[in-house]
Chain A
């Protein structure tokens, strides 16, 4: 492929490096170079996603099966499996009717369909993963002994902490009761647990972001400028 030739690879590296610097220039202030890089990034990515959706979703999941169904129909084979494809096709066409002012109201139907099925489908998913699995994992003895009957203090403390944190967190997320008195104090304890968790997550994620920055600097210094090995 001509794109694999060394000259083109070098050219690609230069373009990527200059665009990286252009985007990074935003750290100083908004400027014309940033605006140019932003427009290039948005335009290319929007075009890329359109092509990607067309070839990876629309065609293989709707276009090709419909064509295969049409072929089956004309050859006299059963096409019941293909008939269901007319539902997404119809909903898709209804979405496009937004472009015509008189029929624009029809686009609300596919939107209602998407929001409705989301609510129904996610209810079960959330019930399973966010409620039942967590509930299962929360059910543990808050005191632990080893096989010889010795008290495992540190392990017991850990489990007790998790259990208290779970209850306090659940108290915080009660909306139909005012956070006052003893209830309020437990809910406030829940806030503490949440904030400590957020603090730990913050530190953990910042480290992840640092690795992204290092990756980009590595590209600039090694692949582009070749000042490091």
Chain B
């Protein structure tokens, strides 16, 4: 009995094993991976408009790429292989996910010939496309993908140059009243009458921020008035280059006002680059020196409210100007006058009344008019498409919108 049972077990194992082998072989033959086709029409070109060191490889999707049905998901991505000779050896330089049709190989050396293959990757390897090449990367002088930026920049520059020339010819250019700036004279006068200093904060960014540049420009105007009134000014800075620039600006203002003897380097001093260390120092200056007027002109971050509230607590008249959207609410709430965004940049033109700056401001208004016209055209085209369902409006709208697309 036991021998019969052991024979049955042995036969079962043998036939079971054979059956399993036959079944798994059949399954292997039916595996979707084996039938996957490689990507089609693979090509490689030097990446356009770059500084070199990059080749863009493109392909048409493998017919077995994801097509929206779960059963068809066979290609999980594309592996990009590179070699320096057509015979290889090919090594992977990157992976693009399923559905992608291009890959920028940014690890090339300019002037070297490269050959590429693209593998349609599956869970168990995948078919490889034919070898393409040779391709070389090289730098270009112009980024043709950004031609629209260039053209818009040229139009803006031309309009600015035109208005500057008009102003120089003596044409009167009108600039509207900016409330915050009209208070500058009043604020300086108040400090003079009270015999207390003026505190000027040119933001906490370096000279490579245009807001700091605008802040230092306004400082020049303020310093000139101060020199005339013989009032004391204090300018703590958080960047060493801002300190040097502010000193030069104030010195030039004092010379222009005919008071070079009244200028002292001590008016401008460096504190620290550390944001809150700087704030601690400025708050200390405020409560100890009790300036009659505080100016905050430049780029600010979390310290804006701390400084403006401290200035408010000592009863100073406060005028702020910044283009930092997140800090404007605090200045609006805590200061007497606030220059909002572009008003900060317009301020120096308004204050100086120089033809160059007035022309520049007028030219920028032309830029805004063009922007409004462009938005209105695009909005009308897309709205007409929604209402009429005429495809032409959509195509025209997309073409128009692409004029401002950044590649």
CB atoms of A115 and B207 under 8 A apart: yes
A29 to chain B: closest residue by CB: B287
Contact of A42 among B272, B346, B379 (CB under 8 A): B272
Task: Say yes or no for B210: interface residue by CB 8 A criterion.
Answer: yes
Name the B residues within 8 Å of A136 (CB-CB).
401, 404-405
Cβ proximity bits A126-139 to B, threshold 8 Å, 1 near / 0 not: 11100111011011
Cβ proximity bits A45-77 to B, threshold 8 Å, 1 near / 0 not: 110110000000000000000000000000000
B372 to chain A: closest residue by CB: A170
CB atoms of A141 and B368 under 8 A apart: no
Task: Say yes or no for B3: interface residue by CB 8 A criterion.
Answer: no
CB atoms of B361 and A30 under 8 A apart: no
CB atoms of B271 and A46 under 8 A apart: yes
Main secondary structure of the interface of A (DSSP, over half): helix
Task: Say yes or no for B34: interface residue by CB 8 A criterion.
Answer: no
Bound-state Cα–Cα, A107 to B341, Å: 31
Using C-beta atoms within 8 Å of the partner chain, give the interface range for chain B.
Answer: 35 or more
Task: Say yes or no for A11: interface residue by CB 8 A criterion.
Answer: no
Contact of A201 among B174, B288, B329, B400 (CB under 8 A): B329
Name the A residues within 8 Å of B287 (CB-CB).
29-30
Q: How far is the CB of A86 from chain B (nearest CB, A)?
A: 20
Pick from A29, A131, A176 the residue with the most CB of B within 10 Å: A176
Q: How far is the CB of B359 from chain A (nearest CB, A)?
A: 10
CB atoms of B341 and A177 under 8 A apart: no
CB atoms of B329 and A167 under 8 A apart: no
Given that A49-B273, A111-B207 are known contacts, is A144 also in contact with B332, CB under 8 Å in the complex? no
Contact of B272 among A46, A131, A143, A174 (CB under 8 A): A46
B386 to chain A: closest residue by CB: A141
Task: Say yes or no for A188: interface residue by CB 8 A criterion.
Answer: no
CB atoms of A198 and B404 under 8 A apart: no
Residues 255-305 of B at the A interface (beta carbon under 8 Å) = 270-274, 276-278, 280-281, 283-284, 287-288, 302, 305
B367 to chain A: closest residue by CB: A131
Name the B residues within 8 Å of A138 (CB-CB).
375, 378-379
Task: Say yes or no for A123: interface residue by CB 8 A criterion.
Answer: yes
Task: Say yes or no for B25: interface residue by CB 8 A criterion.
Answer: no
Task: Say yes or no for A173: interface residue by CB 8 A criterion.
Answer: yes
Name the A residues within 8 Å of B371 (CB-CB).
131, 135, 170
Task: Say yes or no for B67: interface residue by CB 8 A criterion.
Answer: no
B332 to chain A: closest residue by CB: A198
Contact of B210 among A23, A118, A170 (CB under 8 A): A118
Cβ proximity bits B132-165 to A, threshold 8 Å, 1 near / 0 not: 0000000000000000110011001000000000
CB atoms of B406 and A132 under 8 A apart: yes
Task: Say yes or no for A140: interface residue by CB 8 A criterion.
Answer: yes
Which of B42-50, B222-230, B241-249 sits within the interface? Answer: B241-249
CB atoms of A140 and B148 under 8 A apart: no
Name the A residues within 8 Å of B28 (CB-CB).
none
Contact of A139 among B245, B272, B379 (CB under 8 A): B379
Contact of B241 among A111, A131, A197 (CB under 8 A): A111
Task: Say yes or no for A108: interface residue by CB 8 A criterion.
Answer: yes
Contact of B346 among A23, A35, A175 (CB under 8 A): A175
Name the B residues within 8 Å of A205 (CB-CB).
326, 329-330
CB atoms of A38 and B379 under 8 A apart: no
Could you list 14 further interchain pairs (A-B, Cβ under 8 angstroms) beyond the known A41-B280, A194-B340, A201-B325? A37-B280, A42-B271, A45-B274, A46-B270, A46-B273, A115-B213, A124-B149, A131-B371, A141-B379, A141-B382, A167-B375, A175-B178, A176-B362, A177-B176
29 A–B contacts from the bound complex (CB under 8 Å): A29-B287, A30-B284, A34-B284, A38-B280, A42-B277, A111-B244, A117-B208, A118-B208, A122-B208, A124-B149, A131-B371, A132-B149, A139-B375, A139-B379, A139-B382, A139-B400, A139-B401, A140-B379, A141-B382, A141-B386, A163-B375, A167-B375, A173-B342, A175-B178, A177-B174, A178-B174, A178-B176, A201-B329, A205-B329
- B residues with CB within 8 A of A: 148-149, 152-153, 156, 173-178, 207-210, 213, 241, 244-245, 248, 270-274, 276-278, 280-281, 283-284, 287-288, 302, 305, 325-326, 328-330, 332-333, 340-343, 346, 350, 361-362, 364-365, 367-368, 371-372, 374-376, 378-379, 382-383, 385-387, 397, 400-401, 404-406
